[in-house]
Amino acid sequence: MTNEELSTNARTEAESRDGESRGDGTGGSTADPDGEPLVEQSISVDDSNVRTTPANPDTVIESKNLDVFYGETQALQDVSMQIPEKQVTAMIGPSGCGKSTFLRCINRMNDLIDIARVEGELEFKGKNVYDEDVDPVALRRRIGMVFQHPNPFPKSIYDNVAYGRRLRGQTENLDEVVEESLKKAALWDEVEDRLDESALDLSGGQQQRLCIARSIAVDPEVVLMDEPASALDPIATSQIEDLIEDLASEYTVVIVTHNMQQAARISDKTAVFLTGGELVEFDDTESIFENPESQRVEDYITGKFG
Amino acid sequence: MATQDGLDWAGESGQVSELRGSLFKYACLGAVSFALLSVLVLLLYVAADALRPFSADPGWHLVYFVTLVLPALGLAGSYVRSEKPAGEVAVATVGIPIVGLLLAAAVAVVLSIGLLSVAELFAMTIATAVAVGVIVVHARNRPRAAFERLVVLVGAPTVALLGLPPLEVVWLINTALAELGTAARIPLRVISLRELVLSAPVLPLGWMMLVGSVTVPVAGALGVVVARRRERARDAVTFVAGAAAFAAVGAFVGPALGVDPTVWILVATFAVAPVAVYVEGVVRREDGVAGLAFPVVLVGGVLAGAVLVEQFGFAPPEPWLDWQFLTSVHSRTPADAGFYPPIVGSVMMMIVVALAAFPVGVGAAIYLEEYAPDGGLAGRFVTLVEINIGNLAGVPSVVYGLLGLALFIRFLDMPSGSVIVGGLAIALLILPIVIISAQEAIRAVPDSHRQASYGMGATRWQTIRQVVLPQAMPGILTGTILAVGRAIGETAPLLMIGAASSVRLAPSGFFDQLPAMPRQIFAWSTNLEPEIRHGVLAAGVVTLLVVLLVMNGTAIIIRNKFQREA
């Protein structure tokens, strides 16, 4: 099934179900024709997300038949997907299914692994990022990244946020940029009066928000997040989730997560990868969690597998 | 119901055997105690030979024990019990003047052996200040011109200090041209600012130049500390002016008191000024002021002891390791034998070793860790190279001596047994160790930081410069200094490159004959005079060990400082 078909399906389904599942708070349970709850735990799709989603957002990242190999092992198989602009796209799937690999393909972080090999096309704003004339450094300056474990540099909080700007030699108005980025990352109030202290003195959740501030300080167009909340406690996780929703008004966010509730809560689109590096389903988050097309996705979401 | 049988799990019946584990533990304890004890006994034995504490009257020991050791121990005990800051202050107020006096002694030696004259020092300071000024002004006015900055960064110091092209390069090219039989010579060169100052018709007086080139920069650095502490820039200027004035007074008052003006200025700069800044800070913070009593008690104890010993007529010990030993040259009479040229020679050799091994070793380590490919045929070749660097670290030092002889003396025609040849041969010897320790330090930088940097759109160079090197630097420095410390005791390469057993003059340049501490000790070990074989040799060994300890201590301080900043 091609991508186009997928998204058409998604739209028609969303329309046909309109008014049926809204506002009852248990989201996933009403869509199943048998009347049995599809999802045992109450995974509810956040309605506000759906409403603010533009009808036909522009595609900013598009992969066409992307294959990735690590040596002899194939990590991604023929992945085609269109990631819309200024929305949150989540990728879920069991460990080792290639979702992080896909994420790292977008800003060519896989180039740093000698044995990784990419085939197919991955377009950022209509230009294949694997073309000969694309400089991965320039690409990464447009596409920021936040990693699974908070990894601030052992420098001061200020220097961490200013790092990207200084790399580019953009040192004018640095104070304002740092302040604004920390505010956007909802960290300013906590660190306002200790910008000179080491970033390593912050708590894990604060460090992760600092890493988000660091990546948005350079005004990227896309922010990639590789399980940003997996090493954090529930309170820090919910702070990060709120933050991601806010960021989507300005940036395109692509997030890998193991946590299905999280994907359901914060994302507009969801891609489900299953073992073997296969993209099984890509659709509006609502449809994925309420009425997945593939039986395997349904099994995965309901916890029968993976 | 808890019966007696029900308590079996508690292990009373001995099902869990701890016997083998305990035996192993005590065997390990035995090994470590044996190793440490045997080294300790050897060192005590050597120290006793060098210092001969038992040649003194028992009364002498008793007097100093009562006036110096008891009060100092008591005070130290009270610091340990009461407050931590006071102990730190006590250590610092004793340590800062010691380090300062060592630095002052080093500069005094550099001036006295003619390695640098006061005028050269002065010219170098002016040229350096101008070069730094040019760099700062350029960076402020054109912050975005990256390539231009590189040119200025390299060019300004070169032109200011060396001239364009440097004198040595001109000499090299002219010699080469003469060898080739051509009459052409380099007609003119841009003279450096340093040479310009040196050739000035009138230079200031010696003490003025010394104050200008030593006191002002050191006091300036201390002044920055003062200004930061008081948050007023004017205090820094006041401090520098005060320090310079105090140093300058020595030029007039010193001779009247029988103190050499140079010594006055150096001591004022390196010992008095830092202590003044530190004490002022302690008093201002009112934290650990009690610690300031410690140096007072030490000095008071020494003075009181001296008076009492004089009063009762107790004979002091007659150590081999005394001031005379440190400041005179080797002699056939044991009482006159000294160690001064070898100390200077070894330190100069260490400078060559550090300057040669550090850039090459760290550069190699950065390439192997950050740039070299890990996969494929090339990756396998890199692995082979890395294994062989490990093997090179195990090659006997006498073989490196042979390499130095063949490479530097036979092939490059450098003077046999000179400081530069000894330094380069030993630099080759420690190069593998420097590479391996630097590689380990670089490898210890978490990959997640590199990833974060690349993810921000940093180039490889920016990542290495901004993320990897700052974090790896403490480890790199520690490894290098420990390796240099090992090198200072190397004897076999020095024998191979023809270092003389006893040199009567301290080297005044890097192409002079090298008197080295281990070489002199080796020569003493076969001396016919038993007092030299036992006493003077032991004094030499203790001196060598103290120099080694100072270097390793520096390594530890540098590492801790960097770690705290990180």
Contacts of B468 in chain A (CB under 8 A): none
Subunit contact A151:B449, Cβ cutoff 8 A: yes
How do the domains of chain B map onto residue ranges? 19-51, 87-272, 341-516
How many Å lie between the alpha carbon of B201 and the closest alpha carbon of chain A? Answer: 46
Percent of chain B's residues with pLDDT above 90? 21
* pLDDT above 70: percentage of residues in chain B: 96
In this structure, the number of other CB atoms found within 10 A of the CB of residue A122 comes to 23
**Chain A residue at shortest CA distance from B461:** A167
Q: Give the pLDDT confidence score for residue A43 in this predicted structure.
A: 54
Q: Which residue of B has its CA nearest to A198?
A: B566
pTM of the model: 0.78
Burial class (CB in 10 A: 0-12, 13-18, 19+), B235: middle
Over residues A183-199, the pLDDT tens digits come to: 888 888 888 888 888 88
Lowest mean pLDDT among B241-255, B265-279, B438-452, B460-474: B241-255
Confirm if B352 and B487 have CB atoms less than 8 A apart.
no
**B457: contact with A, CB 8 A cutoff:** yes
A222-226 and A143-146 as β-strands: parallel, antiparallel, unpaired?
Answer: parallel
Residue with tokens 């460990």: A95
How high is the pLDDT of residue A134? 85
B451 touching chain A per CB within 8 A: yes
Q: Tens digit of pLDDT for each residue in B35-47?
A: 999 999 999 998 9
pLDDT at A56 over 60: no
pLDDT at B64 over 80: yes
How close B474 gets to chain A, by Cα (Å)? 13
Give the architecture (CATH level 2) of A3-58+83-112+130-302.
Answer: 3-Layer(aba) Sandwich (3.40)
Instruction: Check if B467 contacts A (Cβ < 8 Å).
Output: yes
Beta carbons of B144 and A169 less than 8 Å apart: yes
B-interface mutation test, from A129, A143, A163, A171, most B Cβ less than 10 A away: A163
Mutate to test the interface with B, among A103, A137, A171, A211 (most CBs of B within 10 A): A137
Task: Give the angle subtended at the CA of A162 by the CAs of A157 and A167, to the nearest 5°.
Answer: 135
pLDDT band per the 50, 70, 90 thresholds, residue B564: low
Q: Kindly state whether B390 is in contact with chain A, defined as any CB-CB distance less than 8 angstroms.
A: no
Q: For residue B425, what pLDDT is reported? A: 93
The whole-number average pLDDT for the span A225-238 is: 84
Chain B residues with CB-CB distance to A147 below 8 A: 448, 451-452, 455
List the structure tokens of B81.
Answer: 């019990």
pLDDT (0 to 100) of residue A57: 65
**Dist. CA B539–CA B545, nearest whole Å:** 10
Q: Dump pLDDT digits (tens) for A6-50.
A: 444 444 444 444 444 434 444 333 444 444 444 445 555 554 444
Q: Count of A–B CB contacts within 8 Å?
A: 71
Bond from prior residue into B165 cis (ω within 30 degrees of 0) = yes
Question: What average pLDDT score do residues B254-267 get?
Answer: 83
Does A138 sit within 8 Å of B457, measured CB to CB? yes
More confident of the two residues B143 and B458: B458
Average pLDDT over residues A154-161: 90
Distance in angstroms (rounded) separating the CA atoms of residues A263 and A269 = 9
Residue B258, chain A, CB below 8 Å: the answer is no
Q: A130, A62 in Cβ contact below 8 A?
A: no
* Contact call for B449 and A140, based on CB within 8 A: no
Q: What's the pLDDT at B468?
A: 92
Residues of chain A with C-beta less than 8 angstroms from the C-beta of B374: 114
Average pLDDT over residues A196-222: 88
pLDDT at A255: 92
Which two three-digit tokens encode residue B135? Answer: 């760099």
- Assess B495–A contact: CB distance below 8 Å, yes or no: no
Which among A56-60, B28-32, B496-500, B529-533 has the top mean pLDDT?
A: B28-32
Distance from CA of B333 to the nearest CA of A (A): 59
The residue among B144, B447, B456 with the most chain A CBs within 10 A of its CB, best to mutate, is B456
Q: What are phi and psi of B37, to 5 degrees?
A: -65, -45
Measured from the Cβ of residue B130, the count of other Cβ atoms closer than 10 Å reads 18
Considering CB atoms only, which of B459, B466, B566 is closest to A137? B459
DSSP string spanning B153-198? HHHHHIIIIITBTTHHHHHHHHHHHHHHT--------BPPHHHHHH
pLDDT number for residue B396: 92
Average pLDDT over residues B412-424: 90
CB contact under 8 A, A114 and B376: yes
Which among A220, A276, A224, A216 is positioned nearest to A89, based on CA atoms? A224
Give B566's contacts in chain A (Cβ within 8 Å): 154, 198
Q: Do A114 and B374 touch (CB under 8 A)?
A: yes
Instruction: Please indicate if any CB of chain A lies within 8 Å of the CB of B528.
Output: no
Closest Cα of chain B to A215: distance in Å? 7
pLDDT of residue B356: 93
Any chain A CB within 8 A of the CB of B449? yes
Instruction: Assess B143–A contact: CB distance below 8 Å, yes or no.
Output: yes
Interface of chain A against chain B, CB under 8 Å? Answer: 107, 109, 112, 114-115, 137-142, 144-145, 147, 149, 151-154, 163-164, 167-169, 171, 198, 211, 214-215, 218
**Residue A192: predicted pLDDT:** 86
Taking the CA of residue A205 and the nearest CA in chain B, the distance in Å comes to: 17
Distance (Å, whole) CA A300 – CA A92: 10
- Say how many residues make up chain A: 306
B145 touches chain A (CB under 8 A): no
Residues of B in contact with A171 (CB under 8 A): 143
Q: Which of A70, A100, A135, A151 to mutate to test the interface with B (most CBs of B within 10 A)?
A: A151
Largest CA distance in chain A: 62
pLDDT of B398 reads: 92
Mind listing the pLDDT tens digit for each residue in A234-292?
888 888 888 888 888 888 999 998 888 888 888 898 888 888 788 888 888 888 888 88
User: Which tokens hold the place of A68?
Assistant: 């990735």
- Are the beta carbons of B458 and A137 separated by less than 8 Å? yes
Q: State chain B's mean pLDDT as an integer.
A: 85
CATH 1.10.3720.10 fits B341-516, yes or no: yes
**What integer pLDDT is reported at residue B400 of this predicted model?**
93
Residue with tokens 């972080």: A109
Distance, CA of A79 to CA of A64 (rounded, Å):
7
Task: Give B283-339 pLDDT, tens digit per residue.
Answer: 888 777 888 888 888 899 889 888 888 888 888 888 888 888 888 888 888 888 888
DSSP letters for chain A: --HHHHHHHHHHHHHHTTTTSTTSS-GGGGS-TTSS-S-SS-----HHHHHHS-SSPPEEEEEEEEEEEETTEEEEEEEEEEEETTSEEEEE-STTSSHHHHHHHHTTGGGGSTTEEEEEEEEETTEETTSTT--HHHHHHHEEEE-SS----SSBHHHHHHHHHHHTT--TTHHHHHHHHHHHTT-HHHHGGGTTSBGGGS-HHHHHHHHHHHHHTT--SEEEEESTTTTS-HHHHHHHHHHHHHHTTTSEEEEE-S-HHHHHHH-SEEEEEETTTEEEEEEEHHHHHHS-SSHHHHHHHHTS--
Name, in order, each residue with C-beta under 8 angstroms of B518's C-beta and a sequence gap of 6 or more: B346, B488, B489, B490, B491, B494, B544
Residue B12 has pLDDT above 70, yes or no: no
Inter-chain residue contact B455 with A215, CB threshold 8 Å: yes
Residue A26: the pLDDT is: 41
pLDDT digits (tens, 9 = 90+) for B175-226: 888 878 777 777 777 788 888 888 888 788 888 888 888 888 888 888 888 8
ipTM above 0.90, yes or no: no
The number of C-alpha atoms within 13 Å of B127 and in the hemisphere containing its C-beta is 23
Asked if B453 and A107 come within 8 Å (Cβ–Cβ), the reply is no
Tokens in use for B418? 């000179």
Q: How far is A238 from chain B (nearest CA, A)?
A: 23
Residue B545 has pLDDT above 80, yes or no: yes
A153–B453 C-beta distance less than 8 A: yes
The answer to whether the CB of A222 falls within 8 A of the CB of A254 is yes
Contacts of A211 in chain B (CB under 8 A): 452
Distance from the Cα of A154 to chain B's closest Cα (Å) equals: 5
Report chain A residues whose CB lies below 8 A from the CB of B142.
Answer: none
The verdict on B21 touching A (C-beta cutoff 8 Å) is: no
pLDDT attached to residue A148: 86
d(CA A76, CA A65): 10
Contact B457 A149 (CB under 8 A): no
Instruction: Please list every residue in chain B whose beta carbon sits closer than 8 Å to the beta carbon of residue A137.
Output: 457-459
Chain A residues with beta carbon closer than 8 angstroms to that of B446: 151
Q: How many of the other CB atoms lie within 10 Å of CB of A175?
A: 10
- B373 contact residues in A (CB cutoff 8 A): 114
